C-alpha cells in the first residue's frame, strides 16, 4: 500500500544553457577566465544575468565582498542577481562602454597609416584626406557616418583607452597634427566638416573629469593641450 501511495520520482529537468557569452572556467580561482560582454540589465525585471558580465570582474567582486558561491563559476553562470546587489558586489565599478572597445580596435587599424601620411607629407604640405576624424578626435557622440560607431562616453572610458595599445601612436598623431597647424598657421589642412567634432573633442577632453583620468598619461594630456592651443590660435 505504501508503495502504491508513494509519489513517483520526478524526472530531473536539465537547466538550459544560457545563450551568448564565452565559456566559463570551472573555478573561481581566476585562472583561464574568459571575458564576455558588459552587463545588460533587463528593463522589465531590473535583473542582470551573470553570463552577461565580465567573469573576472565578478570573481574579484565576490572575493572583495566575501560572498561565497558553491558550484564555482558554473554556479555563478546560471544565477541571477538584482541590479542593486550586483552594484555592491562589483563596488559600483563602471565598465568600459562598447563604443570605446570599438575605438581601440579602429585606432589599431587606422592610426599608424594616418600618422605615416602626416609625416610623409610634412607639416607644410599635409592635407587631411579620408574619413578618420572619429578615431583621432573621439567624443561621446558616434559619428553619423562612422561605420564603427566609436565613442568615449565617460571618464571610465578615458582611463580604459589610455591603458590600451594605441596610446603612443595616438599621442604622436596629435603631436604631428599640432605641427601642421603651427606650420600652416591656419586650419586649411583639415576639412571644415571636421571642425565641430574637433571642438566637441577639445571641450570634453579638457574637462576636469577627463583631465583627472589623464593624469596617468601625462604625455597624451600635454598633446591634447598643445593641439587645443594651436587649434584655437588658428581659428
Q: Give me the residues paired with residue 81 across strands.
A: 48
Please state, for a pLDDT cut of 90, what percent of the chain lies above it.
Answer: 59
Residue from 70, 75, 77 nearest 55 by CA: 77
Identify the band that residue 94 occupies on the pLDDT scale cut at 50, 70 and 90.
confident
Mean pLDDT value across the chain: 76
Q: Tell me, what DSSP letter sits at residue 186?
A: S
Place of cell 563596488: 91
Query: Would the pTM count as exceeding 0.95?
Result: no
For residues 104 and 147, the answer to whether their CB atoms sit within 8 Å is no
Q: Round to whole Å and give the CA distance between 80 and 82.
A: 7
pLDDT tens, 178-221? 999 999 999 999 999 999 999 999 999 999 999 999 999 999 99
Which grid coordinates are listed for 88? 555592491
Domains, the chain, in order of start with CATH, read 8-95 (no CATH), 98-233 (1.25.40)
- The contacts of residue 112 (CB under 8 Å, 6+ apart) are 169
pLDDT tens, 45-57? 333 333 344 444 4
Q: Round to whole Å and give the CA distance between 195 and 199.
A: 6
Q: Round to whole Å and give the CA distance between 29 and 199.
A: 46
Q: What is the DSSP string of 78-127?
A: T-EEEHHHHHHHHTTPPPPPHHHHHHHHHHHHHHHHHHHHHHHH-TTT--
Q: What is the pLDDT of residue 226?
A: 98
Q: Round to whole Å and give the CA distance between 155 and 217.
A: 13
Which grid coordinates are listed for 12? 530531473
The b-or-e profile of 113-125 (16+ CB within 10 A means b, else e) is ebbebbeebebee
Amino acid at each position: 500500500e505504501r508503495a502504491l501511495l508513494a509519489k513517483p520520482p520526478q524526472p530531473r529537468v536539465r537547466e538550459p544553457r544560457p545563450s551568448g557569452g564565452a565559456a566559463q572556467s570551472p573555478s573561481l580561482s581566476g585562472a583561464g577566465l574568459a571575458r564576455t560582454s558588459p552587463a545588460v540589465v533587463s528593463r522589465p525585471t531590473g535583473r542582470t544575468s551573470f553570463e552577461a558580465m565580465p567573469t573576472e570582474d565578478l570573481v574579484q567582486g565576490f572575493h572583495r565582498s566575501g560572498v561565497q558561491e558553491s558550484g564555482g563559476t558554473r554556479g555563478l553562470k546560471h544565477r541571477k542577481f538584482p541590479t542593486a546587489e550586483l552594484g555592491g558586489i562589483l563596488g559600483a565599478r563602471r565598465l568600459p562602454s562598447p563604443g570605446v572597445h570599438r575605438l581601440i580596435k579602429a585606432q589599431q587599424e587606422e592610426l599608424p597609416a594616418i600618422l605615416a601620411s602626416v609625416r610623409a607629407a610634412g607639416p607644410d604640405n599635409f592635407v587631411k584626406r579620408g574619413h578618420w576624424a572619429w578615431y583621432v578626435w573621439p567624443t561621446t557622440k558616434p559619428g553619423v557616418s562612422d561605420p564603427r560607431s566609436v565613442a568615449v562616453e565617460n571618464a571610465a572610458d578615458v582611463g580604459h583607452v589610455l591603458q590600451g595599445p594605441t596610446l603612443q601612436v595616438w599621442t604622436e598623431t596629435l603631436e604631428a597634427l599640432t605641427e601642421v597647424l603651427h606650420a600652416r598657421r591656419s586650419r586649411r589642412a583639415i576639412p571644415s566638416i571636421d571642425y565641430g567634432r574637433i571642438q566637441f573633442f577639445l571641450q570634453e577632453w579638457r574637462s576636469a573629469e577627463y583631465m583627472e583620468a589623464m593624469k596617468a598619461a601625462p604625455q597624451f594630456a600635454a598633446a591634447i593641450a598643445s593641439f587645443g592651443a594651436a587649434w584655437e590660435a588658428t581659428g
